[in-house]
Chain A
Amino acid sequence: MSNYTVSKFLTWTKSAAGISIVATILIAVFAAINSGPYLLVNTIITGGMLALVATGLTLMLGVLNIAMFAHGEFFMIGSLTAYYVFTPISNYLSENPESFLAVIGPLIAILCAAIAGALSGIVAEKIVFGPLRRRSSDNWVMNSFLLCVGLSVLLVNMHQLIFGAEFKGIVQYWKGMPISIADVFISRDRAMAFVISAVIVALFWFFMTYTRTGMSIRAVSQDITGAQIVGIDIENVVLLTISLACALSAVAGGSLLFMYPSYPTVGLEPLYLAWFVVILSGLGNILGAVAGAFMVALLKAITVEYVGSGWDFVIPSILITLILIFKPSGIFGSDVRGALDK
């Protein structure tokens, strides 16, 4: 049995997934020794948040067959909601620093961001995607993509019109001394951002793997006719998926408010990075998207460190181009049929 496990592990290390994961870990260790552990900390925090946005994107692509180019705008909605919820809390805190809100205030803001994201996702499905799906018989991928671009332009400009174009940011969520782990100081906000993303990704994975509802989402993404045959109500699954995906993106926006202040086009960077992740890891694979998120985050961090901060989109783009040429199914996508092949 142990021999079998070892040989299976050795085969895995020779697969594309194995090579890239082992290489990522080696590069991460090397970079951490060479330039200091802060690089690792940055990678983990960016990667965790990117994982939230990218899993949402994967889900939308797998279940609804929508190339979601408006996903960054739900990140923006999340950060905007968190800003408007947290500002009064923070004003109250400056007068009553001992209040219990010092600990749970930021969590309330992030929770509100998630709820706002889910609600706006439902609204988008009800008035934008749903009507199109009922009316279009072919060319759905292209039509829904165009709708997404339109939705994105609309949301960006609504933000600018109603809330203005200036940066709406906060100094920090959690006050207090940075946490120190082995001579590295990590601000509490960053540590919490990582904890939040880790908990959500773990819960989300559990939900998709073991619960009846999560399995019905996977069933719809794998075979929509099969899902109808076994008695799954497709409309409910679609609504649930879109609200989950948008809530995940909004949580990322809300919990990164201290790094990325809210402004109309704040969602573009996470959107592009999440697309890098989805192309890198292949479609429809949630765990693959999580691993891919950390790879892209690491790539970005070491590019900024060793090449220069102007290059942090160039190097990932080159990698994506190479992947699209040589392995279009993505690193983890070998046994997964692409959603767009349907």
Chain B
Amino acid sequence: MLLEVKNLDAGYGYLQILRSVSLNIEKGEYVCIVGPNGAGKSTTMKTIAGLISPMGGTIFFNGENITGLPASQITKKGISFVSEELNLFVNMTVQENLYMGAYIIKDKKVQNERLDFVFSLFPRLAERKYQLAGTMSGGERKMLAIGRGMMSDPKLLLVDEPSFGLAPQLVANVFESLDVLIKAGVTILLVEQNVTKTLAVTDRGYILENGKVGLEGKSHDLADDPYVRKVFLGV
């Protein structure tokens, strides 16, 4: 078991959002969390990434208890987070952003190998490596954020709402690049609002509602589930 989240409670200040969320991910799996707005999908991701400290429950990664560790420590354990807001360094070039993604790797040679790997995944980034991140288009920024997340050679990549605010063509591009990563052997936990598309590409899914896991199972089973079809797909 790569990631094991048990009875996780989390929230902001006195406002509790997650109530006893449990989920687990095996190595090499492509898992998604779907659900309506305000269900706590992003909160789950931020809590796993260490940006929010949990109120209760445990998070085990690779058999190690990482509950409540700060984000910088969690990144060093091998979890990389691509946030919804992307959090790029807008006044740095594409290449500098990618090197910052490999901040936890001290060996310059390994950094350059990772850079070549990311450039081979996203040739567009290689073309624009001296451009400031803040001057790129929305789709390119998503690519850069995913590329930056890959620079630290993570065991688990958390991707939050990659299709948010993108044109349909670019959404397809982002999903394609995630497919490439899965084939390269990366484990991905994906949060999405685009339920149809997400359940079509992932292995397993969790449906989050009001801060609780409503349903879980194989993605194609979930896509056929009458409740899911009625509530999320509108059929």
Which chain A residues have a beta carbon within 8 Å of chain B's beta carbons?
Answer: 137, 212, 215-216, 218-219, 222-223, 225-234, 284, 335-337
Contact = CB atoms under 8 A, between A and B. Distances in A.
B83 A232 contact: no
Contact of A337 (B81, B86, B90): B90
Interface stretch (B67-75, B175-183, B207-215): B67-75
Contact of B70 (A215, A216, A228, A336): A228
Contacts of A284: 91
B90 A223 contact: yes
Contact of B51 (A215, A228, A232): A228
Contact of B87 (A212, A225, A231): A225
Contact of B100 (A137, A215, A234): A215
Interface string B37-74: 00000000000011100000000000000000011100
Given A228-B70, A230-B148, A232-B103, A223 B89 contact: yes
B27 interface: no
Most-contacted residue by chain A among B87, B101, B104, B148 (CB, 10 A): B87
B152 interface: yes
B99 interface: yes
A336 B103 CA distance: 23
Contacts of A232: 72, 103
Contact of A230 (B90, B103, B134): B103
B90 A231 contact: no
B90 A228 contact: no
B72 A233 contact: yes
A231 B99 contact: no
Contacts of A233: 70, 72
Contacts of B51: 225, 228-229
Interface in B94-110: 96, 99-101, 103-104
A222 B80 CA distance: 19
Most-contacted residue by chain B among A218, A222, A226, A231 (CB, 10 A): A231
22 contacts: A215-B92, A215-B99, A216-B100, A218-B91, A219-B89, A219-B100, A222-B91, A222-B92, A223-B90, A225-B85, A225-B87, A226-B89, A226-B100, A228-B51, A230-B75, A230-B104, A231-B71, A232-B103, A233-B70, A234-B72, A335-B132, A335-B134
B88 interface: yes
A284 B85 CA distance: 21
B197 interface: no
A233 B81 CA distance: 16
Nearest to B89: A222
Nearest to A209: B96
B128 interface: no
Contacts of A231: 71-72, 75-76, 103-104, 152
Nearest to A229: B81
A216 B75 CA distance: 15
A225 B51 CA distance: 8
Contacts of B80: 229
Contacts of A212: 103
Contact of A225 (B13, B83, B100, B148): B83
A218 B88 CA distance: 12
Given A230-B152, A337-B90, 16 more contacts: A219-B100, A222-B89, A222-B92, A223-B90, A225-B83, A226-B87, A226-B88, A228-B50, A228-B72, A229-B87, A230-B101, A230-B104, A231-B76, A231-B152, A335-B91, A337-B91
A135 B100 CA distance: 29
Given A229-B49, A230-B104, A233-B72, A218 B92 contact: yes
Contacts of B92: 215, 218-219, 222
A217 to B, nearest CB: 11
A232 B87 CA distance: 13
Contacts of B83: 225-226, 229
Contacts of A219: 89, 92, 100, 103
